[in-house]
């Protein structure tokens, strides 16, 4: 049985365009793979605390030296990482806010990037420890950024996932959503077509 982890990072939770695209993919994926277990984490409805010195100190402390408060912080991080470990497929709804990823997604990244847990340093550089997973990223943007120097998201998200061992990453873009109704309709239609094209071979392989 496959496990799929869906991460929605829109401020508007399930109503965000990126969340709706992620939902569309998951629904189609489930239709072709009905035995799939789906874990959904809404980073707006259930926000991750932003990293501060105390939380970072908890990650760095030795297990035997942790206070109860530090153990709670580490336990919360461990639970997030366990979801990633269990997932065969990761689906990320990704809006663009002020040329960057949502702060709630950055907070999530900060809690799952743990040395010795999701990556380790070697004499040849860092090695990601979450191998053998496939990630799909559904990026919704008001303007047109893909393939330009102003697309700060694609490289960052791809590099972060690769850093923790997830190097099979596919992006679907819905851009120009704030550039009039015609542009929005065309972009969402194109994204839905891309989703269908992604899911069709997965159904055939099921």
Per-residue pLDDT tens for 96-105? 999 999 999 9
Q: By C-alpha distance, which of 176, 158, 190 is closest to 92? A: 158
Is residue 58 within 8 A of residue 70, CB to CB? The reply is: yes
Q: By C-alpha distance, which of 93, 98, 111, 70 is closest to 157? A: 93
CATH code of the domain covering residue 132: 3.40.50.360
Number of domains in the chain: 1
The predicted pLDDT at position 201 comes to 67
Q: What is the mean pLDDT of residues 169-182?
A: 97
- 126-138 pLDDT, tens digit per residue, is 999 999 999 999 9
Cα(136)–Cα(170) distance, rounded to whole angstroms?
5
Q: What is the mean pLDDT of residues 52-65?
A: 95
The pTM of this model reads: 0.94
* 183 labeled part of a ligand binding site: no
Measured between alpha carbons, how far apart are the two ends of the chain, in Å?
11
User: How distant, in Å, are the alpha carbons of 8, 42, 87 from that of 91?
Assistant: 8, 12, 10
For residue 24, give both structure tokens.
């569309």
Q: By C-alpha distance, which of 137, 139, 135 is closest to 95? A: 139
Q: What is the mean pLDDT of residues 70-78?
A: 97
Expressed as residue numbers, the domain containing 197 is 3-205
Q: What percent of the chain has pLDDT over 70?
A: 97
């Amino acid at each position: 049985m496959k496990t799929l982890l869906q991460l929605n990072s829109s401020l508007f939770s399930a109503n965000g365009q990126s969340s709706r695209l992620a939902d569309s993919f998951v629904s189609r994926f489930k239709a072709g793979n009905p035995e799939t277990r789906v874990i959904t984490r809404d980073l707006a409805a259930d926000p991750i605390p932003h990293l501060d010195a105390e939380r970072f100190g908890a990650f760095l402390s030795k297990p035997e030296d942790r206070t109860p408060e530090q153990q709670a912080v580490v336990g919360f991080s461990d639970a997030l990482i366990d979801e990633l470990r269990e997932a065969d497929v990761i689906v990320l709804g990704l809006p663009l806010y002020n040329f960057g990823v949502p702060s709630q997604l950055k907070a999530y990244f900060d809690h799952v990037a743990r040395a010795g847990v999701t990556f380790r340093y070697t004499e040849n550089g860092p090695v990601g420890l979450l191998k053998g997973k496939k990630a799909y990223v559904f990026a919704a943007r008001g303007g047109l950024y893909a393939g330009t120097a102003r697309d700060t998201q694609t490289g960052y998200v791809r590099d972060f996932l690769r850093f923790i061992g997830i190097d099979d990453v596919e992006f679907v873009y819905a851009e120009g959503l704030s550039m009039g109704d015609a542009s929005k309709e065309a972009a969402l239609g194109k994204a839905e077509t891309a989703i269908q094209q992604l899911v069709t071979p997965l159904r055939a392989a099921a």
